[in-house]
Structure 1
Amino acid sequence: MTAPFLNLEPLFDLHIKLRKEVEQVGSTPEGLRIHLFVDEGECVGPKVRGRLRRGGGDWFVLRPDGVGLLNVRCTIETHDGALIFGEHLGLLEFGERGYERFLSGQRSASLPGKVAARYHTGGAQYGWLNRAVCAASVQADLQRLEVDYRMYLLA
């Protein structure tokens, strides 16, 4: 028996602006822990449209090998009033010497990444998201504190 192939269906593009206030916990055994919080965001796509509510964020760890571990929680308020809670886990590529560059104050304007995402909602019109697994390509700009996602539904 062989598993079926996965198809990627465009779900939405997400543009996030992060708050300038960053919570730097510091160096831990896992790496440098930094908490970044959502200031505002816009979600535009064929299946979901809306805005990000404040209060979400990324409980981020930058490992010494230059890999950033994304741990994002956010709430989308759709154009028709539903609330969708999102969980994004993934990786952001800082490069081989990215850890040292970040510690010295250098903030990159172009960091690629990828996430796996799950969404949860009580909104009947979006109930199908409760059964969905999604994936996204990510581009982060740490100079401007902005992040862009291109999110797909795995079908």
Structure 2
Amino acid sequence: MSEVKTEHVLTARFDVPQIRDLGSGPFGTRRIATVTGGTFEGPGLKGTALPSPGGDWLMFTADGATHLDVRVTLKTEDGDLIYMTYGGRRHGPPEVMAALAAGEDVDPSTYYFRIAPKFETAAEKYDWMNHTVFIGTGRRLPEGPVYDIHRIL
């Protein structure tokens, strides 16, 4: 098998000021985080995250892991819209996960936070995103997540 090569596409920062706790159910504890804005930037790509609709349907499981299910609309500075959705996983030692849940700024090397984003757009300039596989690493800051997203070459 050959080595997998990637290229940085963008860094995204999402504002998530409120998380609604729906309580514990049969699959874990469900929380819904509202994305109220944010920014993204990379080589040849820059803009903002639109405030609505956008959110993260989080599931916290008994083993301490967080499962992400996110949908957000990006608007490039040249006016094009890009729909971004991703699933992901975040987990780590219990004390680290508790610090993240308390809104603390935690060293990202102490926990695992990965996403698999997909993009959809009608913009010809960004059509390449419709046909590309992406991966990302994340870190959670008190105001919201930050992702470094790469395309697999």
- Assess if the C-alpha contact under 8 Å between 1:68 and 1:94 holds in 2: no
Q: Is 2:118 the counterpart of 1:114? A: no
- What residue number does 1:127 align with? 127
Q: Distance in 2 between matches of 1:123 and 1:67?
A: 36
C-alpha change, 1:97 and 1:64, in structure 2 (3 Å) is farther
Structure 1 gap segments, 5+ residues each: none
Q: Does structure 2 conserve the Cα–Cα contact (< 8 Å) formed by 1:12 and 1:47?
A: no
TM-score, scaled relative to structure 1: 0.86
CA RMSD of aligned residues (A): 2.0
* Preserved CA contact (<8 Å) 2:17 2:144: no
Residue 146 of structure 2, aligned match among 127, 145, 148: 148
Q: 1:119 is aligned with what amino acid?
A: F
**Structure 1 CA distance for aligned equivalents of residues 92 and 26 of structure 2:** 19
Partner of 1:49, secondary structure, is strand
Segments of structure 2 that go 5 or more residues without pairing to the other structure are none
**How much does 1:56 deviate?**
0.8
User: CA-to-partner distance for each residue in 1:84-140, whole Å, 9 max, x for gaps?
Assistant: 0011111012434677x48xx744432640101110000010001000111110001
CA distance in 2, matches of 1:45, 1:106: 30
**Partners of 1:80 and 1:136 in 2: how far apart?**
24
- AA partner of residue 109 (structure 1): D
Q: Kindly indicate whether residue 41 of structure 2 is the aligned counterpart of residue 37 of structure 1.
A: no
CA positional deviation for 1:40: 1.3
Match of 1:49 in 2: 46
Describe the shift of the 1:34–1:98 C-alpha distance in structure 2 as closer, same or farther (beyond 3 A): farther
1:15 alignment partner, one of 9, 13, 16:
13
**Residue 7 (structure 1) shift:** 1.3
Query: After the TM superposition, which parts of structure 1 deviate over 2 Å for at least 4 consecutive aligned residues?
Result: 94-99, 105-112
Q: TM-score, normalised by structure 2?
A: 0.87
- How far is 1:5 from its partner? 3.4
